[in-house]
Each structure stands twice: as structure tokens, then as C-alpha cells.
């Protein structure tokens, strides 16, 4: 039997609008949608009970891929050197369930790296990556710089992308 349900996945390349903003530039509604997307992915999907609101959002830059109806399709939080690691970093990386499989994750990381390079040009970029994504991040030039460790029940490892010469 063939399903007649309409595919609700966005046509990512055409329907995603990218925005890079500071915390004060976010509207209440935008912040609410970002926090809802982070909760949906990290708390509900990944079954992690953890403190998402960690005091770093207010000093971060927020890279958001918005869908046509204002939904968060992709997101990453960019932090200045010293905020989480010695170098610049990005985290809270997500692609919403409706936007997976169409290249938005790759586009998000490319944009996150480019933004870190623009705002922190002399800094390496350091991340805490889920171990299963090590190969993915290696494709961008990241190198593992720690042994695997447990973070909220999920294996992670620190990775580093050297500063550009």
C-alpha cells in the first residue's frame, strides 16, 4: 500500500533563511523557538536531562536556519575564546527532525566555521563533539584532541580546528 501523506520536509536549500545575531538582537519569539528546538533535540530525542540554560547564551552569537514558517531548522551557538574553551567554539548544534537528510547540517557547520573565522580570526575553533560525529567533523578539518568522555550519558570528545595561518 502506498502512503498518500504529503512529505512535510522542507526543501532545505530553498526554504532556509540564515541569520547570525547576538542575544539582544533576538526577539522573545525567536528565543522561545530556539530554546524549544534545543529542548526537542537534546532533552526529548537524546533523552538527556541537563541544564540547557547555562549562562552562556547572553554573550553568544546565535546562528539560526529559519524555515518558511518561522521554525528552527538548524542552529548553533558561537562562543568567544575563553567562554567554554581556550579558543573560539560552537555548540548546541542541531538540525530539526523535519530538516534532516538534506545537507543543512553541513551548511550549518560551514557557516559556523566561517563566522568563527570572521569574528575570532586568530583563534583555533574547539568543540565538544558527540563521538559518532567525529568523522563528520574531520571532513571540516577538526582533529580529536581528547579521549572520549561521557557528557550527560552521551560519549563525546574534544576536537580542534587550528587557526588559519
CATH 3.40.50.300 fits 12-161, yes or no: no
Q: How does the average pLDDT of the chain come out, rounded?
A: 89
Question: Could you write out the three-class secondary structure of the chain?
Answer: CCCCCCCCCCCHHHHCEEEEEEHHHCCHHHHHHHHHHHHHHHHHHCCCCCCCCCCCHHHCEEEEEECCCCCEEEEEEEECCCCCCCCEEEEEEEECHHHCCCCHHHHHHHHHHHHHHHHCCCCCEEEEEEHHHHHHHHCCCCEECCCCEEECCEEEEEEEECCCC
pLDDT tens profile 32-55: 999 999 998 887 877 777 777 889
Sorted by where each begins, the domain ranges of the chain are: 12-161
pLDDT tens profile 11-21: 565 689 999 99
Quick check: pTM over 0.75?
Answer: yes
Q: Compute the average pLDDT of residues 70-96.
A: 96
Amino acid at each position: 500500500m502506498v502512503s498518500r501523506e504529503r512529505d512535510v520536509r522542507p526543501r532545505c536549500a530553498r526554504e532556509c533563511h540564515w541569520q547570525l545575531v547576538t542575544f539582544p538582537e533576538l526577539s522573545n519569539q525567536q528565543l522561545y523557538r530556539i530554546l524549544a528546538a534545543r529542548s526537542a533535540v537534546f532533552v526529548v530525542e537524546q533523552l538527556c536531562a541537563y541544564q540547557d540554560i547555562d549562562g552562556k547564551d547572553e554573550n553568544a552569537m546565535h546562528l539560526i536556519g529559519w524555515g518558511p514558517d518561522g521554525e528552527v531548522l538548524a542552529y548553533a551557538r558561537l562562543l568567544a575564546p575563553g567562554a567554554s574553551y581556550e579558543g573560539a567554539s560552537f555548540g548546541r548544534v542541531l538540525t530539526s527532525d523535519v530538516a534532516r537528510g538534506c545537507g543543512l547540517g553541513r551548511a550549518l557547520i560551514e557557516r559556523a566555521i566561517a563566522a568563527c573565522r570572521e569574528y575570532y580570526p586568530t583563534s583555533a575553533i574547539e568543540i565538544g563533539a558527540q563521538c559518532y560525529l567525529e568523522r563528520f567533523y574531520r571532513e571540516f578539518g577538526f582533529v580529536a584532541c581528547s579521549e572520549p568522555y561521557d557528557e550527560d550519558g552521551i560519549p563525546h570528545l574534544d576536537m580542534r580546528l587550528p587557526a588559519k595561518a
